[in-house]
Structure 1
Amino acid sequence: MRKENIITKEKIEIGILKDLLPHYELEKLEAAYPELRFIQCRKAPETDDIHFFIGPDPSGHDPFGASVDLLKDPIAFWDYKRRVMAYTWLKDLPLTDLTDLYEAWYILKFLCQEIHNTRARKLGRDMAALEVQSPPEVLELFRSEILLILTKPSSSARIRGSLWKNYSNQLKKTKTPLAGIKTPEDPRSEDTLLEELRILEKEALATRLFFGTSPILYKETEEKDAEKSK
């Protein structure tokens, strides 16, 4: 299996409490994150119609329930975005046999190791020990374990470490440094982290070089691309 980012053209719907943000700020957020579609709600959804919700306070029953404070931290929100995309992809992915599980883990393991290294590496070892003819309930158990990891937030330091590890692997193949990518030791790197993440996401879309820090990427349809170019 060639390791490439999974490309989706489906937007992820995020519920957000009505009037939580001024309309112009919500529009700016949607412009910055075209992979997300914000659905304004008068109250927290009580059904599974909306899987992700941002309100005044974190929701106790929703593993991805987040407060408005998330929107004030650009790196935390980017982390939230990539995790809900990975979660949605894996949740909907058919797992018919062990190969399907291995291939899904192949795509998501770097993100999971970044979030919780010890837990993710044990999960990988347990997966490697599975019988080839593992029954569906075993595959689903592993899916659930991966999904649980994806509900947990990362940190700027761990994201920076993952970015640099993935970028270093990329450099070994291309031998071509990318402008704008800072070393972890660069004192400016904390201020430019979000910009660098977006550079590498765009590079992954353009070159199909795997960027494991953000394994599921959104690409707009050709119609949308054409509209923007007008």
Structure 2
Amino acid sequence: MTYIFDEKIRIGISACMYGAKVRYNSKGYEMMGYLKREKSNYVWTPVCPEVMSGMGVTRLPIRLTGGNGHDFWEGKVKVKNKIGRDVSLMMKKGAEACFETLERARVDAYIFMEGSPSCGVYRTTLRNKRLGHPPGVFGSLLLKKGLFLIPAQDLQSPVKWWDWRRRLSAFVWLKHRPMSNLNELYDTWHTLKFLSQEIDEKFARELGKKIADFKIEPPLNVLEDIRWQILNTLRKPSDVKKVKQWLWKNYTHLKKHEGIELESVCPPEIYRNMTNIVDEMITVEREVKSKDILFGTSPIIYSPRY
């Protein structure tokens, strides 16, 4: 059975990646252009914690001193600007104001500027290949609050964006799906287990065994903990090689069990450009949607109504 998620997904985004000229040097980047018409499939909420802090544009660049964003929220490190002024309180209020905005907008995901000491998640500097002290101040808050996080630079890659998009659809579907009994848990796991295996096979195998061992109805807190574990897995970074391999694996399963065979889908060892790979994936998605068949690579088809 194919699950269709047809409500528009709400996404927050670093304002400088939305095109607003709010970076410290009064620059911004129009990343939305890479999505073309697909941009209208989502509701966007741009925010900038550094602007909301009151530091303004232009401003001196900032940095975390002696730790990361998690340490900042524990009061262990400070944020200082280029001349050494402590702007920690301003940064704290700016990050909190932005997250309150995202909560009012009911966003489930956030597209962040990697390399920023405020919004960065896996890097807090753009100098060479250094990581800095990730995550940043706002990045730490986004991680703790459980939002689905997408690096803005991945919008430039058709395959990476497709990968994030299909997992985002599964993430939002699961986040808002009822899961109050064992039958709902079984159905949820049957739908998402192949995608979970692709992202973290060890985790998926262990969770699958745990679910199979349930003999009585688990308490609600156990069900919610399982929901969180799957959600957290869905938002982990992946890579193109893994995506190609599992596309072929799940497509082969479709051929064997459902009789679906498409000439355009190639084995992972066949070289083709990123656009061709995405075209293959979309072709399979359309085929399974038309036949109402579950496809493990894209278990939730996103098709907004308006």
**Relative contact order, CA 8 A, sep 6+: which one is greater?**
1
Matches within 5 A, 1:143-182: 143-182=227-266
The 3-state SS of whatever aligns with 1:46 is helix
CA distance, structure 1, for counterparts of residue 273 and residue 292 of structure 2: 25
Q: Give 1:24 shift.
A: 7.4
CA distance, structure 2, for counterparts of residue 174 and residue 136 of structure 1: 35
CA distance, structure 2, for counterparts of residue 176 and residue 139 of structure 1: 34
With 36-45 and 207-216 compared, the bigger mean Cα shift is at 36-45
Q: Does 1:46 align with 2:52?
A: no
Tell me the equivalent position of 1:196. 280
CA distance, structure 1, for counterparts of residue 260 and residue 285 of structure 2: 16
Q: Does 1:61 align with 2:114?
A: no
Structure 1: segments with no counterpart, 5+ residues: 225-230
TM-score under structure 1 length normalisation: 0.84
Q: Give 1:176 shift.
A: 5.0
Amino acid at match of 1:60: S
- Flag the 1:34–1:194 CA change in 2: closer, same or farther, 3 A: farther
CA distance, structure 1, for counterparts of residue 284 and residue 251 of structure 2: 8
Say if 1:5 and 1:212, in contact at 8 Å, map to a contact too: no
Tell me the equivalent position of 2:202. 118
CA distance, structure 1, for counterparts of residue 157 and residue 189 of structure 2: 29
- Flag the 1:41–1:190 CA change in 2: closer, same or farther, 3 A: closer
Q: Give 1:102 shift.
A: 0.8
Higher helix share: 1
The Cα offsets for residues 101-151 of structure 1, whole Å up to 9 and x where unpaired, read as 111000000000000001110010011112322111111121111111112
| Equivalent of 1:141 in 225, 238, 255 | 225
The Cα offsets for residues 24-69 of structure 1, whole Å up to 9 and x where unpaired, read as 7625515236643333334463133323222323322323333322
Tell me the equivalent position of 2:91. none
Tell me the equivalent position of 1:14. 11
Structure 2: segments with no counterpart, 5+ residues: 20-28, 50-94, 115-119, 121-138
- Compute the RMSD of aligned alpha carbons: 2.4
Give aligned pairs, total.
219
The structure that has the greater radius of gyration is 2
Matches within 5 A, 1:41-120: 41-43=47-49, 45-47=98-100, 48=103, 49-57=106-114, 58=120, 59-63=139-143, 64-120=148-204
Amino acid at match of 2:110: F
